[in-house]
Amino acid sequence: MPAFDESPDGIIEILDIVPRQGPGGIVAPSCDAAISLAVHEINSGAGILGREIRTTHIDGGRAPGEVAAEVGALLATGMVHAITGWHTSAVRRAVARANAGRVPYLFATAHEGLAELPGVLMLGEHPAEHTVPAVHWLAREYGIRRWAVIGNDYIWPRETARVVRRSLADPEAIVLERFVPLGSPDFGGFLADPALDRAEGVIILMVGNDVSRFNRQFAATGRAAGQVRVSPAADENVLLAGGAGANHNLFVPSSFFLDERRGDGAARKARYRRRHGGFAPALTSFSNATYEAIHTLRGLAEAVGSLDLSDIQRALTTGVRYETPGGARGFRGNQVIQPGYLARADGVDFEILDRIC
């Protein structure tokens, strides 16, 4: 990575990757607005290491190779200092190869927990501290013992399903498992499968609008009254897209719920409204994750005194701590350590039930 004084205008350039098409595209307006707030807050202060920051938005809803090719071309200019974003793990793995450890890459989405290339910092949730605790909480509190799994057909859903399966004492606990392409319009085959009748709950490992579409079709069968659902990839936009009637008995784990009773919750919402007005896209759990990613970059740079990836990686091995508006954070390896919560959908909003990690 070039030294900052080699940048023609002295600005720190951040590539932000968020899907603008496909099932994940539902998050883009909220993420853009949240990132804009974070950039405004940082640039209104001291910037990062005394420099103004600027984000370039990359469409992460395309094929992973296409996204990686664009990122690689921009990295080749020598004027990119970091990568952040909310996007699929398939895109992340392609971008990580293109980055090849040149700049810090802050991934703000729940992931599958596999080893990653150097330079990738996992700000999203590890399944062992996210989906698995949610499944076990529902077993403890609701007596859910038999599960069906439906997921999109790529690495995050498949690997997360394996982690969940390994965590269950009963090897027959998952009675149905099916993976479908991103953007699937119809889930009738899964919903009509006789094995689904044996499940007490459904684990939904799909992305964005696929989750809302599934929830509408699931609710239309009348199953929502008798079978719970848990989805680690649903935010307030997904609830809105599905409609209140599709969200009964839906539970969601996340580290990024913005609750007015928790640190910076009410104040952050007020700052967001002042910046974007009353008709802005919702400030959701997913967009809040992207906001935290930009502030994490600032916090790490301040704690380390550098944005050079080798300096950051050395600091991670020494237990470096940093500050974001959400509070003090640290890392275990390349995984951020943060609390996790379980919420239940309440119409088109969330009610936080418990801390699960």
DSSP secondary structure string for all residues of 257-288? ---TTSTTHHHHHHHHHHHH-TTSPP--HHHH
Q: How far is it, in rounded angstroms, from Cα 205 to Cα 174?
A: 14
Instruction: Tell whether the model's pLDDT for residue 262 goes beyond 80.
Output: no
Helical (H) or strand (E) element with 205: strand 201-205
Q: How far is it, in rounded angstroms, from Cα 236 to Cα 291?
A: 16
Pairing of strands 12-18, 53-59: parallel
Q: How far is it, in rounded angstroms, from Cα 90 to Cα 156?
A: 8
Is 7 or 136 the better-scoring residue by pLDDT? 136
Handedness of CA 137, 129, 341, 196 (dihedral sign): negative
Length of the chain: 357
Q: How far is it, in rounded angstroms, from Cα 323 to Cα 293?
A: 12
Beta partners for 16? 57, 84
Q: Give the relative orientation of helices 309-317 and 285-304 as an angle to the nearest 10 degrees.
A: 90
Assessment of whether the complete model's pTM goes beyond 0.75: yes
Confidence grade of residue 169 (pLDDT, cut at 50, 70, 90): very high
Region 161-167: mean pLDDT is 97
The percent of residues above 90 in pLDDT, for the chain, comes to 92
Q: How far is it, in rounded angstroms, from Cα 223 to Cα 217?
A: 10
Instruction: Tell whether the model's pLDDT for residue 4 goes beyond 70.
Output: no
